[in-house]
């Protein structure tokens, strides 16, 4: 409103204001972290920067800078829906730029954009659903440990990693995965309608490709780097505004304290498992 007022009155320097592009970085594994040292990317912690980006005075576009191997399907979907709702409400175009990887849930985030760009070497795709874990029954036997589980409801302890895996439990998990996969596939069909140049038999297997191949298949709209592509679109005078989440002084202090090395055995084990799981997300794509 202020810029429009100054422009209307022909105030020097405001006759042709510089176009503004808001940049939101979506980096890391999607979902709740397992502790203060492993904070995941969630819809809740992105609400504030997303709101600011779309309400920024003079903003011409919102850019999603994505570097994510995926993670929790629900959080991926919630972030996607929030971006689309804000884009529709404010009538502002959204562009996504894939960095190292925009795969699985990371690609779902990219689908929230009106146009998707990648580097030739970016990893794109992995449109599927995966569940992974560990089974410890053999280890418990060797250690002489007896597992005791008491439930009200025969399915309450389904897929317990300390109990033998049961075929009926695996079948139930596969049904859940199929439902989530169907939702993902519908999102791809809707957001990439008329652009896909690959059969669904190949597209929805969970396979992933380089950015160059993804462009050939219609998963992305172009090969390009964020700064240069936006300058080509909005001119050399474009101003980039990073929309990082704000933290109060107290919250920063608490985060530093909580983020200090945890010396207790339980805390160390939790951080170790979290680090292994996070590393597994990235390593699936050779990163």
Segment 209-245, tens digit of pLDDT: 999 999 999 999 999 999 999 999 999 999 999 997 6
Longest dimension (CA), the chain: 83
Cα separation of 53 and 244, whole Å?
A: 10
What is the Cα–Cα distance from 76 to 274, expressed in whole angstroms? 19
Positions of the chain with pLDDT under 70: 1-15, 33-39, 130-141, 143-164, 169, 245-287
Residue ranges and CATH numbers for the domains of the chain are 2-126+207-283 (3.90.226.10), 128-183 (no CATH)
The angle at the Cα of 220, spanning 79 to 238, to the nearest 5 degrees, equals: 75
pLDDT at 45: 92
For position 167, what pLDDT does the model report?
A: 77
- The pLDDT score that the predictor gives to residue 32 is 77
Q: Which of 76, 77, 104, 122 is catalytic?
A: 104
Give the C-alpha separation, 129 to 77, whole Å: 13
Q: Please tell me the distance from the alpha carbon of residue 209 to that of residue 160, in angstroms, as a whole number.
A: 34
Closest CA to 285 of 77, 100, 130, 26: 100
Per residue in 103-145, pLDDT (tens digit) is 999 999 999 999 999 999 999 999 977 666 555 566 556 766 6
Q: Cα separation of 161 and 99, whole Å? A: 35
User: pTM for the complete prediction?
Assistant: 0.78
Residue 251 a catalytic site member: no
Q: What is the pLDDT of residue 129?
A: 72
Q: Torsion over CA of 25, 27, 31 and 32, rounded to 10 degrees? A: -90
Burial 191-214 (b: 16+ CB within 10 A, else e): bbeeeeebeeeebbeeebbbbbeb
Read off the tokens for 185: 């596939």
Neighbours of 49 (CB within 10 A): 19
Residue whose structure tokens are 């040292």: 37
Residue with tokens 């936006």: 230
What six digits make up the tokens of 256?
């530093």
Token pair in block for residue 280? 């597994």
Find out whether 54 and 87 touch, Cβ atoms under 8 Å. yes
Half-sphere CA count of 201, side-chain side, radius 13 A: 0
* Active site (annotated) includes residue 156: yes
What's residue 133's pLDDT? Answer: 55
Given the residues 55, 156, 195, 253, select the one marked as catalytic: 156
Nearest Cα residue to 234 out of 12, 23, 10: 23
């Amino acid at each position: 409103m202020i810029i429009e007022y100054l422009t209307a009155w022909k105030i020097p320097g405001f006759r042709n204001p510089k176009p503004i592009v808001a940049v939101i970085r979506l980096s890391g594994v999607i979902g709740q972290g397992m502790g203060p040292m492993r904070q995941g990317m969630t819809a809740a912690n992105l609400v504030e920067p997303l709101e600011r980006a779309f309400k920024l005075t003079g903003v011409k576009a919102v850019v999603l800078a994505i570097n994510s191997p995926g993670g929790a399907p629900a959080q991926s979907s919630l972030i996607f829906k929030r971006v689309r709702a804000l884009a529709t409400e404010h009538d502002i175009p959204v562009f996504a730029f894939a960095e190292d990887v925009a795969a699985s849930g990371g690609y779902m985030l990219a689908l929230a954009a009106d146009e998707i760009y990648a580097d030739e070497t970016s990893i794109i795709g992995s449109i599927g659903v995966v569940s992974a874990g560990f089974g410890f029954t053999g280890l418990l036997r060797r250690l002489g440990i007896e597992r005791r589980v008491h439930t009200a409801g025969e399915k309450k302890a389904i897929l317990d990693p300390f109990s033998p895996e049961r075929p009926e439990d695996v079948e139930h998990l596969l049904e859940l995965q199929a439902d989530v996969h169907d939702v993902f596939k519908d999102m791809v069909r809707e957001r990439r309608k008329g652009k896909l140049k690959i059969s669904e038999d190949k597209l929805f297997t969970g396979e992933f490709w380089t950015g160059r191949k993804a462009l050939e298949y219609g998963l992305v709209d172009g090969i390009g780097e964020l700064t240069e592509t936006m300058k080509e679109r909005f001119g050399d005078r474009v101003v980039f505004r990073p929309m990082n989440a704000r933290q109060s002084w107290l919250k920063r202090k608490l985060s530093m304290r909580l983020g200090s090395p945890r010396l207790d055995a339980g805390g160390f084990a939790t951080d170790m498992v979290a680090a292994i799981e996070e590393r597994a997300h990235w390593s699936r794509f050779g990163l």
